[in-house]
Amino acid sequence: MQQIVIGTAGHIDHGKTALVKALTGTNTDQLAQEKARGMTIDLGFAYLNEQITIIDVPGHEKFIRNMAAGAANVHIGMLVVAADDGIMPQTKEHLQILDSFSIQGGLVVLTKVDIVNDEEWIDLVELELQDLIKNTVLNGVPIIRVNNLTGDGIEAVKKHLLHIAKEVKIQIRSNEFRMHVDRVFTKKGFGTVVTGTVDSGELHVGDKLELLPNKVNAKVRGIQTHGGNVESVGVGDRAALNLANVERTEVYRGTVLSNPGIIAVTKKVIAHIIMYPNTDWIIKNNQRIRLHIGTAEIMGKVSMAIPKLKKGQNGSVIIGLEIPLSVAMDDLFVIRSYSPMKTIAQGRILDPLPSGKWSELKNNIKILSPDPEKRFHTMVLREWKQPRTLNSWRNRCFRKQNVIQQWINAAGLKIESKSKIVYSNNSLKISDEAILSLVNNIYKRDSFRKTISNEAIIDQLKWSSVWVTFVLANMELEGKIIQSSGRISLSDYRPEITVKDQKDLDFIQGLVDSSGLEPISLKVLIQRSGFKPGRVNGMLHLLNDDNRSEKIGTDLWIAKKYRDEILKYVRGHFEKNKLLSVSNFKDIIGLTRKTAIPLLEYLDQSNYTQRDGNDRRIGSMLDA
């Protein structure tokens, strides 16, 4: 059976800790201060059986942050209300928090019925509770009365908890390991130990972890669950992890443990907020709030595209965080007001890593849906210039790969076979048209330019190289372009060369030829020809297309026949030697070091040679 976590909830002094002790035999108030004051301050833990953990949370309003930290890991909620007091402020607030974290079920326990002699009063409290839990996650759950003196009702509570625990279906969002830390301590002879409920994935002894947001690397020395040593833990398990190479000061409640490089660390998120229907608070632009997410409490400031959010309303906003936070897409959270502290809203992370100017962010606030599948589709279409791979989307959405695949299929998206990038047919069409437009504009500006390098397309369109490569390959298959040696030309394009153009071309080629084995710079060619820089540059590209001249480095040119002569010398050297030094190369071609170095760098980049320290080995293009 999978491990289940039950969380208590309720007002201070309503008998939560006493109830847990009656159910498990464990007093969860372990701190000396808790025992002295007779109240729970921090989270307490007890075991109902080998598979079920009960988290006892504090009821006092000052410790709501601790209650929220406990509720973030809960599968079943147990709302505790004292019969003599009835519904109190923290009863309502705790219920809202349980509702915000989407627990799967629970019950209401009416304690201290032994000190109320009025049966009608208890019936009235029950009616009020039934009304309170309507339209919440606890709607329709049993209300069980417990007599604190005789213990009547305890077995009924236990029996119901065991029953609903069997019905819990833990949602596995991702196969990557993640756990929110709720306790940290140092154990003599072992070092730093952290506890939490495994949110996703599996962890084994010896695995490497990343502690976020501080990005500290750690190794799992040992694992315990329910007090026993184990080799691994999985989703839903309560786990105590003994971490190697971690100082006590490097980890705290709110720290996230995960597989390295998976979870985002951010100081800004796009989130969807739902205001509670009974709050009197209004969220306005630039308002400071308290964000309770996972087991962390963090201060933030809201930026809005709408004037304000009032009770019962919902909308998407940007939350700027005062310190870095580790979150994943679709993580749930609770918002409390800065001062005085009241629980006022719940929310969901839509984008943990938003980027761009305010105008772009404002647009994203409007278009990103709270529905994960719709949001994924929107993001794929929005990021078409820098498309992500299937694996990248899996990590970004913090979802299992089969879920992402289902979303792709449902939206009619495609996966490129080699790179695995996700794209739409419309994005491919738009990209095709953009490249054709770019190339035609280049032809208009420079009639000598027959080919354009892939790098120039990437630089001007600001697309990823993977996407440009794929789009160009598709255009070539459709017969729209011709590709050769990292350059493209339109299939039907032919430069119009006049008699004067040809004469100037031959003149420029003559200048390049006259330089022999020594490359000549664009600047010198402009000076010697007297032509405008743009015309010289265009003619050189055409000479390159005609296989007469070759570009070396950023602005050096050499005649193809002399380039081939250099290759012949280099190949001859490698027939007798394994390495080629700079001195060897200078001697072979009879040039200075200043001229030899750019030529060697060109040979490296073209794979004619392969650098080995300060020397070169024969490259694949010469070895073929």
Pair type for strands 191-200 and 232-233: unpaired
CA atoms within 13 A on the CB side of 592: 3
Calculate the average pLDDT of the chain: 87
452 has a pLDDT exceeding 80: yes
Give SS3 for 196: strand
CA angle at residue 134 from 60 to 95, to 5 degrees?
Answer: 20
Q: Does domain 178-258 bear CATH number 3.40.190.10?
A: no
CA angle at residue 319 from 316 to 325, to 5 degrees?
Answer: 125
Mean pLDDT of 528-535: 90
pTM of the model: 0.76
Query: φ, ψ for residue 106 (rounded to 5)?
Result: 165, -155
Max CA distance (Å), the chain: 114
Give SS3 for 479: coil
Question: What residues does 143 pair with on adjacent strands?
Answer: 108
- Cβ atoms of 333 and 271 within 8 Å: the answer is yes
CA dist., res. 428 & res. 393, Å (int): 19
Classify domain 427-490 at the CATH topology level.
Arc Repressor Mutant, subunit A (1.10.10)
* Cα 216 to chain centroid, rounded: 17
Q: What is the pLDDT of residue 588?
A: 87
Mean pLDDT of 378-406: 95
23 has a pLDDT exceeding 60: yes
543 has a pLDDT exceeding 60: yes
68 has a pLDDT exceeding 80: no
Q: What is the pLDDT of residue 40?
A: 30
Give SS3 for 481: strand
Query: Which among 292, 294, 240, 253 has a CA at the least distance from the CA of 47?
Result: 240
Identify whether 340 is preceded by a cis peptide bond (ω within 30 of 0): yes
Mean pLDDT of 12-37: 66
CA dist., res. 336 & res. 411, Å (int): 37
CA angle at residue 181 from 177 to 184, to 5 degrees?
Answer: 130
Tokens of 292: 């309770």
**Could you tell me the pLDDT band of residue 2, with boundaries at 50, 70 and 90?**
low
Domain ranges of the chain: 4-167, 178-258, 264-367, 372-423, 427-490, 500-623
Return the amino acid letter for 286. N
Count the neighbouring beta carbons within 10 Å of the beta carbon of residue 88. Answer: 17
Q: Would you say the CATH fold of 500-623 matches that of 427-490?
A: yes
**Could you tell me the pLDDT band of residue 428, with boundaries at 50, 70 and 90?**
very high
CA angle at residue 520 from 514 to 522, to 5 degrees?
Answer: 125
Classify domain 264-367 at the CATH topology level.
Elongation Factor Tu (Ef-tu); domain 3 (2.40.30)
Which residues make Cβ contacts (< 8 Å) with residue 263, sequence separation at least 6? 176, 178, 210, 212, 256, 326, 327, 328, 398
Query: Which among 89, 84, 125 has a CA at the least distance from the CA of 108?
Result: 125
Q: What is the pLDDT of residue 44?
A: 66
Tokens of 478: 């459709």
DSSP structure class, residue 309 = E
- Cβ atoms of 381 and 424 within 8 Å: the answer is yes
CA dist., res. 11 & res. 94, Å (int): 8
- Cβ atoms of 518 and 591 within 8 Å: the answer is yes
Classify domain 4-167 at the CATH topology level.
Rossmann fold (3.40.50)
Q: What percent of the chain has pLDDT over 90?
A: 56
Residue with the bigger pLDDT between 269 and 623: it is 269
What is the CATH number assigned to the segment(s) 500-623? 1.10.10.10
Torsion of CA 371, 373, 378, 381, to 10 degrees: 180
Pair type for strands 52-56 and 4-9: parallel
Over residues 337-364, the pLDDT tens digits come to 888 888 889 899 999 999 888 888 988 8
Query: Which among 345, 372, 285 has a CA at the least distance from the CA of 320?
Result: 285
Q: What is the DSSP string of 370-428?
A: SSHHHHHHHHHHHTTTSPPBHHHHHHHHT--HHHHHHHHHHHT-EE-TTT-BEE-HHHH
